Chain A
Amino acid sequence: MNKSFNINRFAALLRYDWMLGKNTLMLTIGITLIIYVVVFVLYFLMKGILAPAMDTLSTFPLLVAASINSFFQYGLYAVVFAVTTLFTMKFCNPKTSTTYLALPGSTLEKFSVVIADYLIAFGAYTLIYLVVFYATMGIGYLLFPDLDWAMNGLAMLDPQYSYQRFSDIFTDNKENMDKLYEQMPLMAAEMDSFINGMMYWSIPSNFGTLAIYLVCNMLFRTNCQLKSIGVFVLGYLALTIVFVIWAVTYVITDAKANADIAVVDQDMSVIMHACKFWIVGLTVIGLSFYAILYRQIARKQAK
């Protein structure tokens, strides 16, 4: 085992990696988070100033909150981008690839460094996001203490608020789970929802996306990053078109023809099953791509 994986060598390679790409990683995460700080501050100010003049359940801040929520996902893709940039530098850049491939370290160690890069960037990003979120929320509370925050879509800013809870999909005991959540303190429930959301959507989709990106990077000889993004965007568009066609031909037509609750429930059941397959399918696809990536690293050549 020491021959193929040595923890000291792995740590040294990770440190080398940090020296190689710290600027890229910090820049990407920094820019993304600065955008969040600005958006959050604007949101809280807007909410504090506008909400008293409007109804308590103002739809305007709710919509803004929903938009910010989806930004969280885009931010995660920025992390994927930063990690792939680092990866491209290591294995696809003519200068760095020669040096890096010749560094003492097995394929397993160099592969593990890629995974570690992602996990560190992902963890750092998520942690800083939460800190920014709760800090700006706290400032909002201090500035506008009279506002009924719980009623104005604040919870929607919680990164995973709009996502289905993991337990809802894999258990049939939804009512009991709901009761359990109601009894939990607010913060604990939020954190639970956040972690479940991560497990359900963010990690599988983000991690799977990363694998596809990295495999693409290895396939191209020049402009790896740009071409990989191109392939990914085209693939994403193709999937969207397939999904839209499916939605139009199956869901909408079917719902119009059978506009009763039972059919809608049946459709929801189909979607829930699809979600189960999505999680399992994405995990399998992601792992397959990581296996391909391992092989690519083993056979990678300098330029």
Chain B
Amino acid sequence: MIQTNNLSFGYNKSQTVLRDICLTLPEGHIYGLLGRNGVGKSTFLKLLSGTLIGKGEYSVGGFDPREREAVFLDQIRLVPENEAILNTTLQELTEVISLLYPTYSQEIFRNAVSEFDIPLTVKLTQLSLGQQKKALIALSLACNTPYLFLDEPTNGMDIPSKRTFRKLVASNFDESKTIVISTHQVDDLEGLIDWVVIMENDGIRLSSSLEELGERFGTEDIKEVFCQVVENKEDKENI
């Protein structure tokens, strides 16, 4: 479970990106973290993965991410929007990464590589942006960690690859896992997520399962709900 209680963060004293975020995300869901550019979605994922250190109380799987304990880090996998691309092949990279994650699955890796059709022996730096993205997602899915945080994972992907991405994430998901996908391209998550979290500059505007969305907004169309929530700030209390 992911829990935050008055989580705040600013890159400097005058610029607070997140203020008093209170959120509970139970395990066993694929969360869509939606919001406009610059509201702090990436920052939020970095805080959860321990690469940024925030104020307030927050925990992931019972661990305080700020401590960055090895036993915590091997349970989470973060795919940042702009991940470092090493001058090495996917084959070499996976050999090292597999040693770091006890839950690593070679089977998932082989399947993802085959589905995405990524070359194993070509240096990552020589691949296109979309292929690099797919390679890193394949690697992260193979880590098979209880917590997976994907930041704008579909950026740079073509339409068939986005479909493959949704298929792979769904097929490798089970009730013991928690996946948080941050994006501003709401369409890319259609049919994949079962819980929506909408962020705005003033904090979390909505955290709701898709079923509840239907009851509250009369539609399960995420794009429609997103527009309603973001454009109708006065409704904050009702959400």
Report how far A228 CA is from B95 CA in the complex, Å.
34
Contacts from A to B (Cβ < 8 Å): 3-4, 6, 8-9, 11-13, 15-16, 19-20, 23, 93-107, 109, 298-299, 301-302
Excluding A99-B78, A106-B70, 18 further A-B contacts by CB distance (< 8 Å) are A11-B99, A12-B99, A13-B100, A15-B96, A16-B96, A16-B100, A19-B96, A23-B87, A93-B84, A95-B82, A95-B85, A98-B84, A99-B83, A101-B50, A102-B49, A103-B100, A104-B74, A104-B100
Report how far A13 CA is from B97 CA in the complex, Å.
9
User: Taking A107-B68, A301-B51, A302-B52 as contacts, is the C-beta distance between A102 and B76 under 8 angstroms?
Assistant: yes
Is B173 among interface residues, defined by CB-CB distance under 8 A? no
- Interchain nearest-CB distance for B91 vs A (Å): 12
Report how far A299 CA is from B67 CA in the complex, Å.
9
Which of B68, B70, B74, B77 is A298 in contact with, Cβ under 8 Å?
B68
- Closest A residue by C-beta to B77: A102
Report how far A24 CA is from B99 CA in the complex, Å.
24
Report how far A9 CA is from B74 CA in the complex, Å.
10
Is B88 among interface residues, defined by CB-CB distance under 8 A? yes
B73 touches A4 (CB 8 A): no
Is B86 among interface residues, defined by CB-CB distance under 8 A? yes
B84 touches A95 (CB 8 A): yes
Is B133 among interface residues, defined by CB-CB distance under 8 A? no
Which of B53, B77, B82, B86 is A299 in contact with, Cβ under 8 Å?
B53
Q: Interface size of B by Cβ–Cβ distance < 8 Å?
A: 31
- Interchain nearest-CB distance for A23 vs B (Å): 6
Report how far A78 CA is from B100 CA in the complex, Å.
31
**B84 contacts which chain A residues (CB < 8 A)?**
20, 93, 95-96, 98-100
Is B190 among interface residues, defined by CB-CB distance under 8 A? no
A12 touches B70 (CB 8 A): no
- Interchain nearest-CB distance for A204 vs B (Å): 31
Is B159 among interface residues, defined by CB-CB distance under 8 A? no
B100 touches A9 (CB 8 A): yes
In the A-B complex, the 6 residue pairs with the closest CB atoms: A104-B74, A12-B99, A302-B51, A96-B84, A95-B84, A104-B73
Docked complex: B143-171 residues within 8 A CB-CB of A: none
- Closest A residue by C-beta to B83: A99
Which of B53, B80, B86, B99 is A20 in contact with, Cβ under 8 Å?
B86
A102 touches B78 (CB 8 A): yes
- Closest B residue by C-beta to A109: B70
**B86 contacts which chain A residues (CB < 8 A)?**
19-20
Is B101 among interface residues, defined by CB-CB distance under 8 A? yes
**A97 contacts which chain B residues (CB < 8 A)?**
51
A98 touches B100 (CB 8 A): no
- Interchain nearest-CB distance for A213 vs B (Å): 22
**A3 contacts which chain B residues (CB < 8 A)?**
69-71
Which of A8, A103, A298 is B73 in contact with, Cβ under 8 Å?
A103
B96 touches A12 (CB 8 A): yes
Report how far A96 CA is from B82 CA in the complex, Å.
9
User: Taking A101-B51, A103-B73, A299-B53 as contacts, is the C-beta distance between A19 and B80 under 8 angstroms?
Assistant: no
B101 touches A104 (CB 8 A): yes
Is B93 among interface residues, defined by CB-CB distance under 8 A? yes
B100 touches A105 (CB 8 A): yes
Q: What are 6 inter-chain pairs, A to B, with CB distance below 8 A?
A: A20-B86, A95-B80, A98-B80, A98-B84, A99-B84, A302-B52
